[in-house]
Structure 1
Amino acid sequence: MIRRLQSRISQQQIEVLTPTEMMKRSLLFIAAVVMAIPTMATDGSELRLASDSWPPFTDSPTGQRVAVELVHTALERTGIKATTTVVDWKEVERGLRTSKYDGSAAMWRNAQRERHLLFSEPYLENRLILIGRKGSEVEGLNISDLAGKRVAAVRHYAYGDEIKKADGVLFVNGRNDQDNLDKLLAGDVEYMLVDELVVRYLVASQPEEAAN
């Protein structure tokens, strides 16, 4: 079923972006440096978590942080206190390698990250969808149908081989989802790969730009 993203502008509901059917389900995990959580649990210290900016999962101007609050609450129920610092992704990686941080409340899992991190059971499901500007041909498209098309993706996201190795797709890597939405609205790319909740949040936060 095609989902239509809408935003309120001048008290009217208008269609701003039309995504395809859900393309891929990705699971969100808590990632921890080896032995970090057991140590925190026994000595009563505070767990130092880090994430990059990913509204509304890890931060937002309104204070909403869906994933972070879920993780903090779950940890508190087991007697573990935690704080999350939002920094650039490179700093997240560096901090985990050097044990400046004990883990991350929101991370997609892949083989490379499993080499130095322990992952929890998944606690959230991300629904990755393909979106385009109003009027774009997106109905029924899959990633395999996009050969020769420019598709915005976030550089460090672990989308999986099914997407990253799609034949002929011209991925344009952006710093974050907002950067990619700007590229889409400017016509620099034809499509954008994004979590459905994230794009709803972004569209709602800038309705006038997204309506064009």
Structure 2
Amino acid sequence: MRSLLLLLSLLYGGLALADDIQLSNGDWPPYLGEHLPHQGVASRIINDAFASQGIDVQWKFYPWARALHLAERGELAGSAVWLRSKEREDQFFISEPVIDSRYVLFYRKDHPVDWRNVDDLAGLRIGATNGYDYGAAFQQAEAEGRLQISRQTSDELGLRQLLAGRIDALPLDQVVAYALLNQHFSAAERAQIGFHPQPLRSDSLHLLLSRQVAGNAERMARFNQGLAQLRSSGRVAQYLREVEQSLSLAP
């Protein structure tokens, strides 16, 4: 009888240590996506960091604005992945960096673009995607009318506008651009596209956990601990390298 009680105590004690968390997510291959392997490499990193702490992630996929709104209201525990901002710091616990994002300017190789600062882009027809923030200098130049910006509904549409010669340049996350080009464009179309190596913006992207949800401060501490362990093990670098190699980004 004593052995049975001990076994039950260990069993239910182990179950008590288990936890789960519901997070919103969006569509941004290869980092995030409902139908991607592991729901994207950023989702994979978050999954594994939480799993190392005994927390199981349940992903809920929405358009970006709704994904953030549900997390802000605490209807879901949090959302992945986002830029850090003062406004978000007021609403969320913000993790250590999950991935880094590097935006560069893409162009057609028969019409290359050279630049050092945003004023060098004056006179060019520049594409951009609705709702995207391309950095303070770019956003200010757009607001002041110093740049000729044509906002589109998606990065893919922007690339098609670029290929059609309707715009001269398009800022894109370099890894996302390669994923789009590999998935939606022919080899002949891909061969027409180049990019300038100078970053328009470089930022880290983070997991957000709502301050409206009880226990999220402790969950974030556990997540950051798991993320640090994942990095030190080399698995984060391995996951990112696998993605880059699949997109022919790695040397």
TM-score by length of 2: 0.60
- Tell me how far apart the structure 1 counterparts of residues 161 and 92 of structure 2 sit (CA, whole Å): 33
**Shift in CA distance, 61/185, structure 1 to aligned 2, threshold 3 Å:** farther
**SS of 2:166 mapped into structure 1:** coil
Equivalent position to 2:151, from 143, 154, 173: 173
Q: Which amino acid aligns with 1:170?
A: Q
- What do residues 34-57 of structure 1 show as CA deviations (whole Å, max 9, x unaligned)? xxxxxxxx8844211112210110
Residue of structure 1 in register with 2:135 after alignment: 160
**SS of 1:59 mapped into structure 2:** coil
Equivalent position to 1:122, from 97, 100, 108: 97
**SS of 2:37 mapped into structure 1:** coil
Residue of structure 1 in register with 2:29 after alignment: 55
Q: Which has the larger radius of gyration?
A: 2
Equivalent position to 1:146, from 118, 121, 141: 121
- Structure 1 residue 98 corresponds to structure 2 residue 76: no
Q: 1:49·1:105 contact (CA, 8 Å) conserved in 2?
A: yes
Residue 72 (structure 1) shift: 0.8
**Shift in CA distance, 62/49, structure 1 to aligned 2, threshold 3 Å:** closer
**Shift in CA distance, 185/111, structure 1 to aligned 2, threshold 3 Å:** farther
Q: 1:47·1:102 contact (CA, 8 Å) conserved in 2?
A: yes
Q: Which amino acid aligns with 1:117?
A: F
Equivalent position to 2:82, from 98, 107, 127: 107
Residue of structure 2 in register with 1:184 after alignment: 162
- Tell me how far apart the structure 1 counterparts of residues 19 and 123 of structure 2 sit (CA, whole Å): 52
Q: Higher helix fraction: Structure 1 or Structure 2? A: 2
**Shift in CA distance, 156/146, structure 1 to aligned 2, threshold 3 Å:** same
Residue 95 (structure 1) shift: 1.1
Gapped regions of structure 1 (runs ≥ 5): 1-41
TM-score by length of 1: 0.70
- Structure 1 residue 204 corresponds to structure 2 residue 178: no
- Tell me how far apart the structure 1 counterparts of residues 51 and 70 of structure 2 sit (CA, whole Å): 23
How many residues are aligned here? 171
Q: 1:129·1:196 contact (CA, 8 Å) conserved in 2?
A: yes
Q: Which amino acid aligns with 1:54?
A: W
**SS of 1:132 mapped into structure 2:** strand
Residue of structure 2 in register with 1:66 after alignment: 41
Residue 111 (structure 1) shift: 2.7
Q: Which amino acid aligns with 2:55?
A: I
Comparing 170-179 and 188-197, the one that deviates more: 170-179
Residue 173 (structure 1) shift: 2.4
- Tell me how far apart the structure 2 counterparts of residues 136 and 61 of structure 1 sit (CA, whole Å): 35
Residue of structure 2 in register with 1:26 after alignment: none
Q: Which amino acid aligns with 1:126?
A: S
